[in-house]
Amino acid sequence: MTLGTNSNIKVTAELPSISSQQSSIERYSTILDMVLQGLPLGEILNAIVLLIEAQKMGTFASVLLLSDDGKRLLLGAAPNFSEVYTHAINGIEIGPNAGSCGAAAFTRERVIVADIENHPNWQPFKSIPLNAGLRACWSEPIKDSKNNVLGTFAMYYDKVKSPIEQDLYLIQEAARLASLAIERSRGMHIQRLSNNIFNNLPMALVITNKDNSVLSANPKFEMLTTSYNKDLKLFDVQRFLSQSAPEKVADLFNTISHGHAWKGEMRGLRSDNDIIYIDLTVTVIRDSFTQQNCYAWLITDISARKHAAKTIDFQANHDHLTGLVNRKYLFEQLQIMIEATHEQEHISQSFSLLLMNLDHFKQINDSLGHDCGDAVLQKLAKRLLQNIPDNALLSRIGADEFVLLLPGRIEADTLMELARKLSDILSNNMTVADQNLMLSMSIGLSRFPDDANNVEQILNCASQAMYNAKAKGRNCFEFFNDKIQQAAERTAQVHLHLKNAISNNEFELFYQPIVNPFTGQIIKAEVLLRWLHDGQFISPEEFIPIAEESGLIVQIGEWVRTQAVVCAIELQQRQLPLPLSINVSTIEFWSNELQQRFLNYFDSIQQQFDLTVFPYELLTLEITESLMMKQQSNINLLLEELRRRGLNISVDDFGTGYSSLSYLVNFPVDQIKIDKSFIKKIAQGERHKAIIEAIVSMSRALDLSVIAEGVETQAELDFIKEQQIDAVQGYYFYKPMPKNDFLTLLAEQQNKLSDFT
């Protein structure tokens, strides 16, 4: 048969001769032996190429492998080609006209090129094989058992040449041998890869039959649990899952018994006393050999994740100091109970709240330190837990605030009995940092749905009742009631209007003269704030605490001082210079920032009014004893600076707080105002008079001036005169009056003095 040199030639080879068959068997035997030994694919392909080249003298053979993306041919074996040529053919793209091998891989059929120089497939790059001395190339596609192309086997010649039947048989055989080697090698590679993956899985994997015999297990499983008997190759599944919910285990076995996969979380038994949390997937596999179901158990230990989740959940829902549930968790539980009531009216989700607040807890932190304060809270939480009903929920919702949730409707008598019991747990002193502390707490009680119908409101009711208990003297309990509600609503209204009082020009200063008790001459005046809202005066005793609680007192205090300075300047201009006393709230000194703001205020006022000299000497600041108790060096420095500028410092309502000589000695003050409560008791006997005498004597010893306030009777005035007290303030002489009346009064006094002189 004569073959054309410029055409693709497709020929089916006839059977070889007996000698050729013997050579073929030897080749197959050689290659099969290499495959069974598991030798590397490159080594086997090289052997195939060399065997074919040895069989057909003058032949140069190569094996090219199809890339994973199916677009290129990569060098598999070409031991007798030059490095230049192997480099050129490695990575060539396949296509219908891509030489011999590229076309064979693309068309999936044999391609015979007898004359490379003149064949159209080689025209774009024929110089490469021609320079290598190659003139003909026959290429056979290598296919697997599923008829997929794996690569190509090519035979090259140094002359123009067409194949005979034996050549065609030989190239077919080479392709079959290469296919065997490639498929077997890839299969072994996949198997090795699978085994490697199986043995290195980060989770346990075991395959069992229906009798729980272990067919295969990876190392992770072998170390997972003592429920696996390595000697008997048995996995005691029931024992391993014995700590899981029985209904969940039953569902697992029922599901897989019907041939379905199962997935879920379980609890596994690592050893007798070691329980782990697992993520379990069971897959049912049909064994084609035994025709029985096998089970693949994929087990992931998620204990660390579970413990971490529990830790995160605990931190999110519990107080880190006491371990009690926190405000967030309490609110969630309350919301659940309230929503259940709203959604299903026939279900009663009544409950009661006891809000407990330690009395004077701030003093513990201030005097003993916050570490001791924390220890007190921890011990209190422990005592409370030991004395609450089993179904109650105790939470810490604030610094020293605890809430007890009691589910169900409970009679008032029972609630009062519990409140007394909880109060009594503090009757035994608490020892902290070698200090024996006497503690008490105030308790507010509210009930759902009687007092409110949502979470915020029901807790607010308990809070209002608690503050009512504190107002009644502390160390007691109060139920929320209509009066408390009305008071709370009134407070809310006052706070709302208070925010706009300055911008609405509702504030006014009244002035109460302070007189010389012997001459009756006005020597000073106290500035008093009055608030007229909607035609009615609101008592300072009502709105000042609200202003302090809300922080509005800072802005209000600055307004008062500004108006007082305006009045002092006006008095100077009228030739009626008179010192004015201004009350200052402790809240205005509460922080370093507020203290600096207080000092800067006077500088800003001086700039605002363009004052050459600020009238410091005409102003007296009246502070309370509680400010002295703070004993902060910054406050001392601030007051000393104000005194240096000319301001006087007076202690208002002296004797009603926690006064002591040490405060007066160390604090920068100029004056003491004896509280009116002492003056009122003068008529009750000598002991009360003795107190005033002691205060006066002490003040003189400390070089402090004294004012007696609240003088209303002649008897009180006579006693004040006996004590040689410098100044008196009270209704006996004058009540507080508006500015115009005060200016008129001063003018009249000035005229009388002028007439007298």
Q: What is the DSSP letter of 69?
A: T
In-domain check, residue 377: yes
Task: Give the pLDDT confidence score for residue 3 in this predicted structure.
Answer: 33
Peptide bond connecting 449 to the previous residue in cis, omega within 30 degrees of 0 = yes
Inside any domain, residue 488: no
Yes or no: say if 729 and 709 are a contact pair by the CB < 8 Å rule.
yes
Query: What pLDDT shows up at residue 104?
Result: 96
pLDDT for 135 = 95
Q: Are residues 187 and 276 in the same domain?
A: no
> Is there a domain that residue 13 lies in?
no
Q: Could you tell me the CA-to-CA distances from 586 to 369, 553, 580, 619, 701 in Å, in that order?
A: 21, 10, 19, 18, 27
Helices within 39-119 (DSSP H only): 41-55, 83-89, 101-107
Q: Are residues 650 and 715 in the same domain?
A: yes
- Asked if residue 491 is part of any domain, the answer here is no
φ, ψ of residue 514 in degrees (nearest 5): -115, 130
DSSP H or E segment with residue 581: strand 580-583
Query: pLDDT value at position 485?
Result: 75
Give yes or no: residues 163 and 288 share one domain. Answer: no
- Asked if 580 and 570 count as a contact pair (C-beta separation under 8 A), the reply is no
- The DSSP annotation for 114-160 comes to S-GGG-GGGGGGTHHHHHTT--EEEEEEEE-TTS-EEEEEEEEESS-
Confidence at residue 14, expressed as pLDDT on a 0 to 100 scale: 44
Question: What is the strand order of the sheet 60-66 is part of?
Answer: 92-93, 72-77, 60-66, 149-157, 136-143, 111-113
Report yes or no: 681 and 687 within 8 Å, Cβ to Cβ. Answer: no
CATH code, domain with 32: 3.30.450.40
- Assess whether 119 and 23 both reside in one domain: yes
pLDDT at residue number 197: 64
Exposure string (b/e) for 600-627, b if CB count within 10 Å is 16 or more?
ebbeebbeeeeeeebbbebbbbbbbbeb
Final residue before a domain boundary, out of 307, 331, 346: 307
> Can you tell me the distance from the alpha carbon of 228 to that of 239, in angstroms, rounded to the nearest whole number?
10
CATH code of the domain containing 557: 3.20.20.450
211 in the same domain as 181: no
Instruction: Return the structure tokens found at 122.
Output: 């080689």
- Sign of torsion over alpha carbons 557, 558, 561, 562: negative
Instruction: State pLDDT tens for residues 607-664.
Output: 988 888 889 999 999 998 767 655 556 788 888 999 999 999 999 877 665 555 566 7
Q: Is 386 exposed, middle or buried (0-12, 13-18, 19+ CB in 10 A)?
A: exposed
% helix, strand, coil for the chain, step of 5: 45, 25, 30
| CATH number, domain containing residue 290 | 3.30.450.20
The count of domains in the chain is 4
SS3 of residue 695 by DSSP: helix
Q: Is there a single domain that holds both residue 281 and residue 359? A: no
State the Cα–Cα distance between residues 8 and 169, nearest whole angstrom: 17
Distance CA 319, CA 323 (A): 5
490 is a domain residue: no
**Residue given tokens 């002649």 in the structure block:** 714
Those residues whose C-beta lies under 8 Å from the C-beta of residue 309, and which sit 6 or more positions away, are none
* CA atoms of 341 and 453, how far apart (whole Å): 10
Q: How far apart are CA 464 and CA 488, in angstroms?
A: 7
494 domain-assigned: no
C-alpha span between 65 and 141 (Å, rounded):
10
What pLDDT was estimated at residue 22?
55
pLDDT of residue 643: 92
What's the rounded Cα separation, in Å, for the pair 50 and 63?
A: 11
Instruction: Check if the beta carbon of residue 275 is closer than 8 Å to that of residue 188.
Output: no
Q: Are residues 475 and 572 in the same domain?
A: no
Q: Which structural domain, as residue segments, surrounds residue 232?
A: 201-307
CATH number for the domain including 419? 3.30.70.270
Separation CA 656–CA 733 (nearest Å): 24
What pLDDT, in 10s, does the model give residues 710-750?
999 999 999 999 999 999 999 999 999 999 999 999 999 98
**3-class state of residue 318 by DSSP:** strand
Same domain, 613 and 531: yes
What DSSP string describes 472-523?
A: TTSSSEEE--HHHHHHHHHHHHHHHHHTTTTTTT-EEEEEEEEE-TTT--EE
Cβ pair 702, 723 in contact under 8 A: no
Sequence-separated (6 or more) residues with CB below 8 Å from residue 265: 277, 278, 279, 280, 302
Domain end, chosen from 262, 283, 307, is at: 307
- SS3 track for 229-275: ECCCCEECHHHHCCCCCHHHHHHHHHHHHCCCCEEEEEEEEEECCEE
| Listed residues 480, 515, 530: the one ending a domain | 480
Q: Is 23 left (phi over 0), alpha (psi -120 to 50) or beta?
A: alpha
Residues in CB range of 644: below 8 A, 6 or more apart: none
What is the distance between the alpha carbons of residues 250 and 228, in angstroms, rounded to a whole number? 21
Q: How far apart are CA 319 and CA 314, in angstroms?
A: 9
Sign of CA dihedral 245, 250, 256, 260: negative
Q: What is the CA radius of gyration of the chain?
A: 51
340 and 473: one domain? yes
pTM for the predicted model, two decimal places: 0.52
Kindly write down the DSSP assignment for every residue of 338-385, as one continuous string.
HHHHHH-TTS---EEEEEEEETTHHHHHHHH-HHHHHHHHHHHHHHHH
Q: Are 191 and 61 in the same domain?
A: yes
**CA distance linking residue 734 with residue 741, whole number of Å:** 11
Q: Are residues 191 and 206 in the same domain?
A: no
Has residue 693 been placed in a domain?
yes
Output the pLDDT for position 727: 96
CA–CA separation, 280 vs 243, rounded Å? 14
Distances (CA, A) of 219 to 195, 211, 239, 624: 11, 21, 20, 77
Low-confidence ranges of the chain (pLDDT < 50): 1-19, 346
Nearest to 642, CA basis, from 706, 589, 721, 694: 589
10 inside domain: no
- 678 and 599 fall within a common domain: yes
H-helix or E-strand spanning residue 187: helix 165-200
